[in-house]
Chains A and B, each alone.
Chain A
């Protein structure tokens, strides 16, 4: 019962009043069936990619967790704070002072320890720390200087002769201060290793049969248009259609500027509520699509040993080369240590299929590696929130009310058809999600939980 109430609170907060009761009840019951969704999702993945249930589970969990939102907690954070508001927080000032002190201390010890033979390791660590903190400390210093300048200028305002000049000076000063504050905030937020990487998108139809597959096809199209809208490259890796034109599972490789940073919050269960084309009695259905976003590592950040791979092709009766003429260009790659299997038969050229299979394999292995690292980092938090959030619906597309609601930040956008065109409305949602996430990370770093 406790859970029902929290769901009601959670959803009710944003648009409860506008929803007919019948419909509301239908998702409460739906929310109760979370394990079923999970089961379905896992079965699909399992049969397709030969990954154990456990691995899929953890992989998917990571996608939601990787600098994601900490469960439903973030819904309470209903407002994005302005830069000014952030700077008025005592915790931020404290943090900045702490950083300056640490920098001074490190710099001091580097200077005094220089030339001494012992403590080599400590010295190099201090050096790294100094170089990491330097930009931030420099900006803090600049900010202090500018603030002093501003105060002085404000003094001058009292002088009638210099008033006009001082006014201009003051405005210029304020702009610089604003910029500096923004830079300081972005310097505090650590860049994520995978933020700059390209990605592999996977959409899989969840509960809801043919209707779910139709919606999955629309989602796939939405991301394809979104990539075009952003000027990214979009290459279909796999497309498994259903009989009536839906999509069972599709994947694509997306590359371009900041793709992962913008797309990572799309990972999770998306829910659609509408009267499907297949429905004869006009009843509304609820179906789901699962989206996975796997960062695509670069050669430098992630390497796979070739001895760990077994690459198989379907060569007829043993002999190869000029002895036979085969058109079967399918390639299957097994990563022996993990047992992850990647197969591709998309193209007529065997080497192209091999490249595609490798691409998928790299993305999968990389995300497994990231999950391992992230799970270490979030060990304590995991204990707090348990397994909740893993198959939680992140977004609802409600056609009869013509709205899209993101449950993590409680944001609603109207014009659902416009949204799935994958243009400015999706961009707007994506920007809000990023801002929320950055703010959350920032507050997390400041140890500020009283928001």
Chain B
């Protein structure tokens, strides 16, 4: 729990003076930090030293970055998983070298998830590889939403025949956590990026889920007809499509702007370019009572609802869910949820 962090922070503050006096680090070329050869580091000294260095270099979340990287090198997910006496143990040379190498990457503003090459999403651990989009915590809730609906469905019918389609799978987070939680369903995951498709496949393989997932490199604009022919019908269409406004892209923090695939973020001028395409294809892809689940920008739900009314899409708007923090409206992150009702023509 969080208290541990607090006590650690206190500890770091009290240690800073000690470590800086004892260890004289040399700043090499390109601002790289080379570990002093003679120095022996305990875990907490390394933690505090890197936290401070990140702070000075204005790297966001300096303490957490230092903790995650060092825990990872020691074979743990977080500091909480370290054994007793873990903090006071002296690091081996191999560990020190690896910590310094990884932390130097973080100094270039590379996201922690890319630095340690993995991250957790719900119950599963996924491999992360630049520039494939890093799944965000809000998307974990989108999956909860889909799972809750599928569990209701499971009560009334055989799950073996239930299939889902994910558009823009990235590292495979949504598809793989669905497959991980529901042991009978099958799915198809698509992405226009070859790197994303390869990473999803790799993650599926290591989680032992590849037998129930088909992964294909497909562009929803160019390959629309092929998509409808091969994938329909599905009960669930789920997506975390690119939804950022093109004009906002340049103002994003370096972690996102410089390292993540632009195509996974850029949703066009008003951010709903891909969303529109998915909704347009949805009636042809879904079964009669199939549903679409989308994570969208807070400005999108109104636009989408008007659009559904204007055009006869054969979709009925169900509900907009907001993420669990329920923070002020402008910060909410809605998930659109649309049911397919063929024949019903919204006025």
Q: Which residues of A contact B (CB under 8 A)?
A: 48, 217, 236-241, 243-245, 247, 249, 310-313, 315-316, 318-330, 332, 343-352, 354, 356-357, 360
Segment with Cβ contacts to A, from B200-208, B225-233, B323-331: B323-331
Give the nearest-CB partner of B87 in chain A.
Answer: A241
Chain A min CB distance to B246 (Å):
13
Q: How far is the CA of A401 from the CA of B94 in the complex (A)?
A: 47
Are B112 and A327 within 8 A (Cβ)? Answer: yes
Interface of A is mostly: mixed
- B136 neighbours in A (Cβ, 8 Å): 320-322, 324-326
For A322, list chain B residues within 8 Å (CB). Answer: 133, 136, 240, 242-244, 256, 264-265
Asked if B77 contacts A321 (CB within 8 A), the reply is no
Q: Looking at the assembled complex, report how far the CB atom of B333 sits from the nearest CB atom of chain A, in whole angstroms.
A: 5
Chain A residues with CB under 8 Å of B211's CB are none
Which chain B residues lie closer than 8 Å to A327 at the CB level? 61, 64-65, 68, 111-113
30 contacts between A and B (CB under 8 A): A217-B84, A236-B80, A238-B80, A240-B4, A241-B84, A245-B88, A249-B3, A312-B325, A313-B325, A320-B136, A320-B331, A321-B295, A322-B133, A322-B265, A323-B256, A324-B136, A325-B113, A325-B255, A327-B61, A328-B64, A345-B78, A347-B77, A347-B120, A349-B122, A349-B123, A350-B137, A351-B144, A352-B120, A352-B123, A354-B324
| Contacting residues, chain A, for B36 (C-beta < 8 A) | none
Q: Which residue of B lies closest to A313 (CB)?
A: B325
What is the interface of chain B, defined by CB distance below 8 A to chain A?
A: 1-5, 7, 60-61, 64-65, 68, 77-78, 80, 84-88, 111-113, 119-123, 133-134, 136-141, 144, 240, 242-244, 248, 252-253, 255-256, 260, 264-265, 295, 297, 323-327, 330-331, 333
Query: Is the Cβ of B333 less than 8 Å from the Cβ of A351?
Result: no
Q: Would you give the shortest CB distance from B11 to chain A, in whole angstroms? A: 8
Docked pose: A236 CA to B1 CA in angstroms: 10
Assess the A311–B244 pair: CB atoms within 8 A: no
Cross-interface CB contact of A346 among B80, B113, B139, B260, cutoff 8 Å: B80
Give the residues in chain B near A352, CB-CB below 8 Å.
120, 122-123
Chain B: which residue is nearest A245 at the CB level?
B85
How long is the Cα–Cα vector from A324 to B324 in the complex, in angstroms? Answer: 17
Verify B2–A344 contact, CB threshold 8 A: yes
B137 and A238 contacting across the interface, CB-CB below 8 Å: no
Residues of A contacting B327 with CB < 8 Å? 315, 318
Residues of the B chain whose Cβ atoms lie less than 8 Å from the Cβ of A326 = 61, 136-137
Most chain B CB within a 10 A radius of its CB, from A241, A313, A327, A344: A327
What are the residues of chain A within 8 A of B84 when measuring CB–CB?
Answer: 217, 241, 245, 247
Beyond A323-B256, A328-B61, A346-B1, whether A318 also contacts B265 by CB under 8 A is: no
Chain B residues in 8 Å Cβ range of A238: 1, 3-4, 80
A320 to B133, CA, bound (A): 15
Smallest CB–CB gap between B120 and chain A, Å? 4
Which chain B residue shows the least CB distance to A214? B84
**Quick one: closest B residue to A243, CB to CB?**
B88
The 10 closest A-B pairs by CB, nearest first: A350-B137, A351-B140, A348-B120, A343-B2, A349-B120, A245-B85, A345-B2, A238-B1, A325-B255, A321-B333
Cβ–Cβ contact B78 & A346, under 8 A: yes
Does B85 contact A240, Cβ atoms closer than 8 Å?
no
- Measured in the bound complex, the distance between the Cα atoms of B60 and A327 in whole Å is 10
Residues of B within 8 A of A247 (CB): 84
When distances are taken between beta carbons in the complex, the residues of chain A under 8 Å from B61 are 326-328
Contact B64 A349 (CB under 8 A): no
Asked whether B1 lies within 8 Å of A320 as measured between CB atoms, the reply is: no
Q: Which of the residues A312, A325, A345 comes within 8 Å of B1, measured between beta carbons? A: A345
The smallest beta-carbon distance between B81 and chain A, in angstroms, is 8
A289 to chain B: closest CB distance in Å?
15
Q: Which residues of A contact B244 (CB under 8 A)?
A: 322-323
CB contacts (< 8 Å) of A357 on chain B: these are 1
Alpha-carbon separation in the docked complex, A243 to B242 (Å): 47
Complex contacts, A315 vs chain B, CB 8 Å: 325, 327, 331
Contacts of A354 in B (CB 8 A): 324
Q: Give every chain B residue within 8 A of A241 (Cβ-Cβ).
A: 84-87
Contacts of A351 in B (CB 8 A): 122, 137, 140-141, 144
Tell me the nearest residue of chain A to B251, going by C-beta: A323
A325 touches B78 (CB 8 A): no
Contact B1 A321 (CB under 8 A): no
- A329 near B1 with CB under 8 A, answer no
Task: Tell me if B68 and A348 are in contact (CB < 8 A).
Answer: yes
Contact, CB under 8 Å: A325 / B243: no
The answer to whether B265 touches A349, judged by C-beta atoms less than 8 angstroms apart, is no
Question: Contact check: which of A237, A324, A349 meets B121 at CB < 8 Å?
Answer: A349
Across-interface contacts of B112 in A (CB, < 8 A): 327
Beta-carbon nearest neighbor of A348 in chain B: B120
- With A320-B323, A327-B61, A346-B78 already in contact, 4 other A-B pairs whose C-beta atoms are closer than 8 Å: A311-B325, A322-B242, A348-B77, A350-B140
* Residues of A contacting B140 in the complex (Cβ-Cβ under 8 angstroms): 349-351
Query: In the docked arrangement, what's the CA distance between A378 and B234, Å?
Result: 59
| Nearest B residue (CB) for A312 | B325
In the complex, which residues of chain B have a beta carbon less than 8 angstroms from the beta carbon of A325?
111, 113, 134, 136, 253, 255-256, 260
Please report the C-alpha to C-alpha distance between residue A106 and residue B333 in the assembled complex, in whole angstroms.
60
If A324-B256, A325-B255 touch, whether A318 touches B331 (CB-CB below 8 Å) is yes
B1-A237 in contact (CB<8A): yes
A326 to B297, CA, bound (A): 17
Residues of B within 8 A of A316 (CB): 60, 253
A47: shortest Cβ distance to chain B, in Å? Answer: 9
Q: Min CB distance, B83 to chain A, in Å?
A: 9
Chain B residue contacts of A344, Cβ below 8 A: 1-2
**Bound-state Cα–Cα, A135 to B113, Å:** 61
Q: How far is the CA of A311 from the CA of B7 in the complex (A)?
A: 23
